[in-house]
Amino acid sequence: MKLICKLTIILSVLVLIWSCETPESLEPVSGIEGKLFIEGEWPDSIKATALIVLKTLDPNNLEIVTYSTPILSPLIESEYFFQLEPGFYFIAGAGLTIDPGVFFAKIDSFMASGNLPIVVLDKTPHLQRVIQLGEQEVLKIDQTILFAQ
Amino acid sequence: MKKIILIFLFLSLLSAQGSITGSVTRADNGEPLLGVNILVQGTFTGTATNAEGQFKIEPLQPGEYTLFVSMIGFEKYTEKNIVVADKEVLIEIQLKQDVLSAPQVVVTASRNVQDVMELPVSMSVIGPRKIHDRATVNLIEVMKFEPGISSIRGQLNIRGTSGYTLGVGDRTLLLIDGVPVLGSGAGNITWTMVPMSEIDHVEIIRSGGSALYGSSALGGVVNILTKNAPTKAETRFRFKSGMYSEPKYKQWQWRSQPGLFNYLDLTHSRPIGKHSAYVRFHKAKSDGYKRQGWTDANNITGKVKFNFGERYNASLFANYYADKTALASQWKNAANPFSAPSGEEDDYTEGTKLHLNGFFNMILSDKTVIKLKGSMYDVWWQNHSATNDNGIDEQKGYGEILISTTLSQSTQITAGLVGQTAKIRAGVYGDHSSLSMAAYIQAQQRIGKKLTLNTGARMETYFVDEEELDESLAPQIALNFRMFDWLSFRSSVSSGFRVPAIAEMYTRSQLNIFKVEPNPDLIAERSQAGEVGMTVKLLGNKWISDMTMDVVAFKSTFDQLIEANQDDKGIIHFENITDARISGLEVGLSGAMLDKSLLFSTAYTQLNPEEIDKDGNTIDTLAYRFRYTLVTTIGTRLMGVTATLENRYMSRIERVKLFQENAISGEDKRVPIHIWNASLGYDYRGWDFLFRVENMFQYYYTELERNMGEERHLSLTVSKKI
């Protein structure tokens, strides 16, 4: 009986210590936030627009880090936020050429094929601008996508 | 001559015998206690109380006696210096509930009174002490400290059965006093309308199965047994007030003053002739810990217990709940996790719920009881939102007749018929009706002194819009082997089912780019569950005592689980898409040390939640399940001061469905949950004070993606019984 008691106490203490492992609480993040404005008439071929964040400017290897929630036609204004690790990035406006619902339903196969139904809408000047992010830094940058008037 | 005198004296002594008679009641509500053991010190003389709590010990020679009074679940009591002459001595005894114990007899597992050591299925019992010590307004916050139980954004999970299903189609059945309280449209549970201050105890069946309680019970059953009004008039109040801390990171702070919350409970109860009644008013007002976290609710509860003599009794319970609560789908973004998305800052929902239930018991003979149960549930709510103005209006009726009879000393049969109907009018579902009819039978057979066999089955037919949707048969077989008073083994095999909720079949909605369309072809999901368990109870000594250890291994398989699924056009339907298997282990350990001055309890749960194919091969981990859970409570009670420390650990959720982690950007990171709570209580001349701090180290986490867990909050609760 004494042995059972001792074992129980030891087990409880061990369990308690184990439960006190190093916490991994969420912390403030770094990123870019702002407003996205659409100017001009939506082309028929574009079903939705979004901002995309790129790691490189290599046209043969557009490495998309993340993208904003798509705006559906005919909206002209939206807020966006990109959570990003500290480092260097480029932002571009992009158009989805298919229904965004279909795009997200099949995103894994699109990504695997490398044939994304996306067109870059504003190659300049944003793509040329390097955005540098520091630790837990949130930059405020408004963006405008210009469609033909 | 001397012989004659001696015989005369002896006969005189015999004729001068006395007796002790009396009654034993509960100290908290005056209810008589059945089965209390009463022993006369230094003799083999003893007895147990009857159903009215009364006892009589005779014959007793004239002298001075001491009585030992004991019952599991209550503090031991000693009545000293009872002088017995040649008359009857009358004493009244009140027993206080043991600080350690939950009630030791339960009713939910077989619909009959059972000793917890003889249960054939796994059950957690939460007594009033656990509820009082946490001073919460949401029962889930108490249940989370039981083995196998967790929650995701308010959706209860027993052994990981529900996961997170967008708030519809709960796989756990909630009963109040044995009558279901599910909303028929979404099939979800409103936990905040549970009258916390009026709970006697809560019984949670962790073994899934529908043999007794039907649809939705495949993940388990939570039965809330409410208090009866005490036999003496009394007024009780409880006031809880507190504040949320500001987020510890300056970047996350979003308001200039701390958020406050206040909760008030006011209950008055009194006897009315042979009957008794209480009425309770509850007010809840909270700023919330996040921008869209506020709530304002009023709740009126009443219960009348009718006593029509020895053979008949009845009860009527009413609960009306009205609230306005902020609506929030997710945080604004990871940089502003306590703010609402743009355009949703003023969204809220308002609603009312009315729940009436009652029963009438007829004791036909010493061996047969008939119970009639009825319930009505009326729900109305309306969203006020920039993007989602849904509303719902539904009524639900429930009726049940149950007969329980003892065929022999070893065999007891319980059988019943159930009917349930619902009408629903909702913007997103349309107008629909449902009807279900069920018959069930359960036999409890004692085989020898140590073995109890429970067998049962339920047959249920379910109609939607007057068309038959499903017909299910759910059998169950369960066994308890009580090897010793302190050791029992149990095993059970059962099947369960859940018919789809109206919301799953008929929702038509669009939120942003996501479009949800109806799927009236849904069929019921089904489960098969099995478990093997063991319970050990040791009284111990003054150093370590009241040890209870419960260990259970379980495995459940689910066919045709209903989940939201996106088709190749991006349209979301609820579909029978997944087969699943959840196996695991639960270990619960509790007890006291150092002459009961140090109390502890811990519960460990390990789950292996798998999505499987038709051949049983693992495809993936089921979404929204915690693989490891460990909850620990340590408390002490010295000189009227109670101190408690709690820790809750849940491992990182391995798979989600809405927003995946992005290792490159760091988006939607998921972390384990690691919460510490502490409380300090003091009882001063009948005034009960409880200071409590929850999430005291300000640990930040998400249970559901993009929804920050609760911020640290401090509260003071004052309660008083007059």
Query: Could you give the percent of chain B with pLDDT greater than 70?
Result: 93
More confident residue, B75 or A109: A109
Name B535's Cβ contacts closer than 8 Å, sequence gap at least 6: B116, B117, B487, B488, B490, B548, B549, B550
Max avg pLDDT among A19-33, A40-54, B419-433, B705-719: B705-719
More confident residue, B66 or B145: B145
pLDDT over threshold 60, residue A3: no
User: Can you give the pLDDT at residue B573?
Assistant: 85
User: Can you give the pLDDT at residue B12?
Assistant: 47
Please answer whether residues B658 and B650 qualify as being in contact, where contact means their C-beta atoms are separated by less than 8 angstroms: no
Please answer whether residues A126 and A91 qualify as being in contact, where contact means their C-beta atoms are separated by less than 8 angstroms: yes
> Which B positions 65-104 lie with beta carbon below 8 A of chain A?
none
Domain with residues A31-146, CATH architecture: Sandwich (2.60)
User: Can you give the pLDDT at residue B351?
Assistant: 93
pLDDT in tens, B365-403: 877 889 999 999 999 999 898 777 788 999 999 999 999
Please answer whether residues B666 and A53 qualify as being in contact, where contact means their C-beta atoms are separated by less than 8 angstroms: no
Distance from the Cα of B493 to chain A's closest Cα (Å) equals 31
pLDDT in tens, A90-120: 888 888 888 877 887 777 787 777 777 877 7
Q: Quick check: B700 and A15 CB within 8 A?
A: no
d(CA B19, CA B579): 66
pLDDT over threshold 90, residue A148: no
pLDDT in tens, B655-702: 998 888 988 888 999 999 999 999 999 988 889 999 999 999 999 999
Using a CB–CB cutoff of 8 Å, tell me whether B568 touches chain A.
yes
Averaged confidence pLDDT in chain B = 87
For B568, the closest of A23, A27, A106 (CB atoms) is A106
Which residues of chain A does B568 touch, with a Cβ-Cβ cutoff of 8 Å?
A: 102, 105-106
Which residues of chain A does B570 touch, with a Cβ-Cβ cutoff of 8 Å?
A: 99-105
User: Can you give the pLDDT at residue B42?
Assistant: 61
User: Can you give the pLDDT at residue B308?
Assistant: 86
Name the maximum alpha-carbon separation found in chain A: 87
User: Can you give the pLDDT at residue B154?
Assistant: 84
> What's the alpha-carbon Rg for chain A, to the nearest Å?
23
Name the pLDDT band for B187 (thresholds 50, 70, 90).
low
How far from the centroid of its chain's Cα atoms is residue B496's Cα? 20
Tokens at B492, concatenated = 């059970």
Tokens at B642, concatenated = 């109670």
For residue A18, how many other CB atoms are within 10 A of its CB? 12
How far from the centroid of its chain's Cα atoms is residue A77's Cα? 18
Selected for mutation to probe chain B from A24, A62, A142 (highest B CB count within 10 Å) is A24
Domain with residues B2-95, CATH architecture: Sandwich (2.60)
User: What predicted TM-score, i.e. pTM, was given to this entire model?
Assistant: 0.84
| Average pLDDT value for residue range B420-443 | 91
pLDDT over threshold 80, residue B310: no
More confident residue, B118 or B491: B491
Mean pLDDT lowest among A27-31, A44-48, B35-39, B53-57: B35-39
Which residues of chain B does A29 touch, with a Cβ-Cβ cutoff of 8 Å?
A: 334-335, 666
Q: Which residues face B397 on adjacent strands?
A: B376, B421
Domain ranges of chain A: 31-146
pLDDT in tens, B627-665: 999 999 988 877 778 899 999 999 999 999 888 898 888
pLDDT in tens, B520-540: 999 999 999 999 999 998 877
| Average pLDDT value for residue range A56-68 | 77
Distance from the Cα of B149 to chain A's closest Cα (Å) equals 17
Q: Quick check: B538 and A4 CB within 8 A?
A: yes
Which residues of chain B does A21 touch, with a Cβ-Cβ cutoff of 8 Å?
A: 674
For B647, the closest of A19, A25, A69 (CB atoms) is A19
pLDDT over threshold 70, residue B322: yes
pLDDT over threshold 60, residue A124: no
Which residues of chain A does B647 touch, with a Cβ-Cβ cutoff of 8 Å?
A: 16, 19-20
Name B506's Cβ contacts closer than 8 Å, sequence gap at least 6: B428, B429, B430, B432, B518, B520
Using a CB–CB cutoff of 8 Å, tell me whether B571 touches chain A.
yes
The b-or-e profile of B60-71 (16+ CB within 10 A means b, else e) is beeeebebebeb
Please answer whether residues B362 and B404 qualify as being in contact, where contact means their C-beta atoms are separated by less than 8 angstroms: no
Selected for mutation to probe chain A from B336, B387, B513 (highest A CB count within 10 Å) is B513
Name the maximum alpha-carbon separation found in chain B: 115
Mean pLDDT lowest among A5-14, B44-53, B252-261, B461-470: A5-14
Domain ranges of chain B: 2-95, 105-721
Quickly list DSSP for B70-139.
Answer: E-TTB--EEEEEEEE-SSEEEEEEEEPBPSSPPPSEESTTTSS-EEGGG-SS-EEEE-HHHHHHHT-S-T
Phi and psi at B325, nearest 5°, equal -140, 140
Strand B46-48 vs strand B467-484: parallel, antiparallel, or unpaired? Answer: unpaired
User: Can you give the pLDDT at residue B213?
Assistant: 87
Tokens at B628, concatenated = 């490891």
Q: Is B436 exposed, middle or buried (0-12, 13-18, 19+ CB in 10 A)?
A: buried
Query: Could you give the percent of chain B with pLDDT greater than 90?
Result: 49
User: Can you give the pLDDT at residue B688?
Assistant: 93
Superfamily of domain B105-721: TonB-dependent receptor, beta-barrel domain (2.40.170.20)
Q: Quick check: B674 and A25 CB within 8 A?
A: yes
pLDDT over threshold 50, residue B9: no
